[in-house]
Structure 1
Amino acid sequence: MGKKYIYLSLIFLVSFNAIGQEPKRVVIDSIQELIDISNDLTFEFKIKESLEYAIKAANYAHKLDNDYYKGHAYYMMGYNYSVLVDHKSAEKSYRNALEYATKAKDSVLMLWSYNGLGSVYSDGYNNLETSLVFYNKAKDLGKILEMDEEYMTPVINLAWTYIDIKEPDKAYPYLLEAEQLVTKTRDLRGYCEVMYLQGRYHFQKGELDIAKNKFNDCLETAKQHDILADLSYVFESRAELFQKIGKMDSAYYDLQAYQNYKDKLYDKEKLKQIEVAKISFGVDEYERQLNVAKAEKEYQEGITRNNKIINIISIVGLITLLGIIVFVYREYRIKEKLNNALKTKNEQLVEAKLEAEKLAQAKSQFVSTISHELRTPLYGVIGISSLLLEDQEILPKHKKLLGSLKFSGDYLLNLINNVLRISKIESQEPEQIKTPTNLYKLSQNLLNSFEYQAKSKNNQLNLDAPKDLPETVSVDSLGLSEVLVNLIGNSSKFTENGNIWLRIKVLDQTNESLTIRYEVEDNGLGIPENKKEFIFEKFSQLDRESNKVEGTGLGLSIVKNILANMDSQIYLESEEGKGTKFYFDLTLEVINEIEESNLKNDENDNSKSYHKILVAEDNKINQIVTKNLLNLIGYDCTIVENGFNAIQLVKKEDFDLILMDLNMPYVDGREATKRIREFDKTTPIIALTAAEISEVKDECIALGMNDLINKPLNKNDLKTIIKKNLKT
């Protein structure tokens, strides 16, 4: 929005005799001088000092009970908070300024305050409807005052807001009026802003040549008068115009220019951030001083009123009245002390709560960042080892080593997922995704994945399942797999030269449902009686004294929470030195053979068709892995390294599906999807992300993506999600 300038011309000298606290001292600096100094410091980005002078001015103004200076002091405080992007504090200060400006009948200050509130609601809260109300009030005041300089700012802000909400016809009359005002006042920055807004207006109306001329006019004027850096956002809008008319080289040049001029402003921004860090230690004290000044004034007014009452009542009975006053005063002082103590405690509790929230947020961000950084290289390790294992010509001894490498990668990935899951499992209930599943094959595959670990400890793995087990049931296979992996892995840790059994027992069966019991039993170390409850707690591990622990101690805690989400619970039987058995029950829906046959036929028909896939991925190793995985499952693909290239290729060629990495240089996956959806509403887009899906899902769906999948990818999950989205 347009920049607000402040200058007050009257200077008043105030002595402490008027305040009544230091009769022999004379105030050297007037309130007016304090406000002027505060105003000058804001333009040097010395926000701490500026706010200090504004608060001093407010203190003196409250002691004098001068509404005029109260209003101007609070306005300066609001302006400083706006620079610090503390919108709540800015709104509070602007409202105080408006209150005292109204009492003082200072129409100019009322106009500034309305304009400041409009900017808070527009830039801070993104509440454009409320901002329009305040800007209109400021405009109406400016029209009454007949002051072109003051009237111009809300008119420009109204035009800007209507352009932002893409209502160009409503913005047009304000643009015409603003052009007349900037010409009349010879305001160069205002003129450039009006040319910029007119360019955006004609762009929204589809009048591209006129829009380009307006942008060019703005940039030429800004360049001549050395204000181009402050108006660098014009390059961004002109780049969008060039892209619209197909001049990609010019669009790329303007985007570079926009970035370069943004970098020139870095020093100012850096200064502002330094001031933010400095001021966080001092602002609370200044505001407390201001509150003390208010309380002092209110207390003195109360004493004056009480004295008048005392004088009247003293005629009736002075002695009785004095006794009552002493008693009341004592009670008042006691209550005041209690209230002050309670207020101090409340402030401490609020500060402690804010600090705890900051620490929790920092922890969550740290876990998410570490997850992303670990998953990215794991994509290469797991993906390449999986691809090599698909090679039928690889030597058996190399295949064994690759199996060990993949097992280690999978184990590390599972460790990362466990840490993330336990950090979120208490704040949100995990989502169940039920799929048609063959319980026997699922159990066999899970048991086979521990074969290498079992051989290293000379253990025998055994699967015991009834022959008449239904072939297909509906179950959250991912959740069930995670439960069994943790239980089998737990048995493998504490068993050597022994046996591990995975059993499936049918407890009840009908045509529509099946109730089963899963048991995982070993003849290993067993669990002492006093440790049986302890092992289900987070980060609990046995045999710590001998340093034979493995893993994070999260497995059984995760098992307990997953089964609770599946309406089940984990049971334990164990005797130290003889072994351990975990078991749980599940009631599942049976899928009949006709439905299963139809499902298989659909999948077979889908796999035969030819599909062309675009992959947007900047990491070279990830490109190789993804391309080979797609080739293995029967898809052709084209790879680009950033979102900008993806946009250009989608415009030129037709693709059946797009795999879009979220984090890429120049134009990331989010921005690329947003721009693609402007001209292509139908091509499915699947997000590739190393972050937790729950953290980015809502944002990606809102941008127009159809689905999300976590990195590192595996062949089956990639095949499933592609088939799912190609059907729609």
Structure 2
Amino acid sequence: MRALHIILFLFSFLFSGFFINGQEQLTKHATDSIEELVQKSRKLLADFNIKESLDHTTKVIKYAHEINSNVDISRGHYFMACNYEVIQDFSNSEFHYNEALKYAELAKDSLWIIRSLNGLGNVYSEGYKNLEKGTFYYNKSLEIVEKSNIKTEKLGPILNLGWTYIDEEKYDLAYPYLLEAQKLAQELEEIGRIVAINDIKYLLGRYYAGKNEIEKANQLFNEVIKAVESLEIISVLTDTYKAKSEAFQKVGNTDSAFYSIKKYLFYRDKLLDEEKIKQVEIAKANFSLDDFQRQLDATKKEKEYLAKIARSNMVINIISISLVLLLAGIFFFYRGYQSKKKLSAVLKEKNEELQEAKTEAEKLTNIKSQFISTVSHELRTPLYGVVGITTLLLEEQDIQEKHKKLLNSLKFSGDYLLDLINKVLKISKIESNTEKLTKTPTNLIELSRNLLHSFEYQAKSKSNELILDIQKELPGVLSVDSLKLSEVLINLIGNSTKFTENGKIWLRIKILSLEKDEITIRYEVEDNGVGIPEDKKEFVFEKFSQVGREFNKSEGTGLGLSIVKNLLEMMDSEIHLDSKEGRGTKFHFDLTLEIIDEKGENELNPENSGINQKFRRILVAEDNKINQIVTKNLLDLIGYECTIVENGFNALQMVQKEDFDLILMDLNMPYLNGVEATKRIREFDQTTPIIALTASELSEVKEECMSIGMNDIINKPLDKNDLRNIISKNLLG
């Protein structure tokens, strides 16, 4: 009956406020629907309605996964484990306690770590009869209690340790724990205190009986009986009278033993008659033949014991009682077997539903990612024309000032749309787990200087000063995913630019630790702009969130900081925010990076490379007419001659007939696309550099391009400086 005691003890605390501190913390992370399901599951378990409790708990776990709440996932598995513990399915109980522990550790929630460890202790000591491992988990639970100082959780493992040692008849080991449990129980609220004190007295009674101090044992048993008779806690009365009878039998007091066994049998009958206990027995999902044999053995021992007393003229009563117990055992074995089949079918159906839901969710995610990727590619292609032609017109020297302003506005709108497309695609790829890290040797000083330089126009338009602050001890070349780091810094600096006017924006690199082959740095982006209100600090990292939208002054999509958070998680880092409204904002994150040997690493400066750009012939394979015009004009501006063809087939023919210094190859063309054209060119020409042009996300196509023999890849719409740099790099190579 110990499992029944545990549930009564647990739920007296749950409904009396024993766990109130932890519960207040948990409700911050749970939705109303999850909290309602948790409360119903608790109540159903307290009423021993196992099937419905399992149904509610399964929904808790499902909904908690949907909102990515590790605390609620842990709670769901914990109550699932409690259900299985009551029906003595210790294998499933162990699994769900371990799951509860795993998610509690992910959430760093000490409360549910303590309870999960305590539950595992129950499984091993009570279920598997493995005292050593059971006490290990109880003691581990106590360690976390001491570290976290959640005093209200200490009684559970302390009482369980005492109970385990009493069941094992290791009375001297049990006694200190029972004394400490007495002190802890006094601090509980009324309902929890009554249940706990009576359980402790019951265990102390068994302790004194084991030590042959029968008078003390009997006194404690009587105190328990007096306390719980008015409350009609039948399970406690049953166990207490049984313990009394065993104690009197031990010293040969047959009259008192007989009286106690009669009371035990009386309350045992009442216990079997109660509907809620029947539900527990019916719901036993794994009631094995071994369990049944143990009940038969127990019945046989009771029968033999009563037969001895029957020699004192009580033969008829003893035989009748034995028959009742035997019939009850057979009845509950049959009902338990039927319930096992029914409950197994229910659980199988629920598992299938969960698997179908998971498969459907993954399918929808992939469809969404593919849709966004396709749409973004189609949008980038016309934007290439808009941004490219606008850039070319702005290069004209004799353009009128009023037209220049209009062109700047047009370019800003095109750049804004392109930025929106890129960010939506980035979020989609992160969510579908297709974004991967690609580390390359990188000069962080040059990278940071160039990024800050790219914001000079926006800074001047708002009268802001950009400040770069880097410690001189920073190594020259480090291994990092420079593209993702650039995205993080661009979003953070862009965020500061939006909310700062007539102020300063700092980009800092600080060294936190420096070893021979490894360095830990801290990037800081700080401004003295408007700052972020206290109640908006967590909100700003959510998708599509914008501080200031209510004042109609917000810019952008609200995706930037969400992208920052997700990219840094991929890089084993996290973003930190320090801001006061009206005083500015500071973001920082830490990175641990490998130091690369700087020997042989030469930074390319295409402006001073000394390449003879004129008379370098470049073949451009591009099917879009507008893109052809833009690309040709950009190449003219940076000093290269080019020949343009409209598809991969024509490109293949031109390379076979003439010599080119470099090929710019669009990937999506009719007749023969850029990938197939490159494969055929590489069959007879292994040396001419081929650079892929694409409106797709680089991470989608880069690996394939490199594998077929392309030398590099660049995104459309093309930027003049980026185009010059990539051509110079490949011509020098």
Taking structure 2 as the reference length, what is the TM-score of the superposition? 0.47
Computing the radius of gyration over CA atoms, which structure comes out larger, 1 or 2? 2
TM-score by length of 1: 0.47
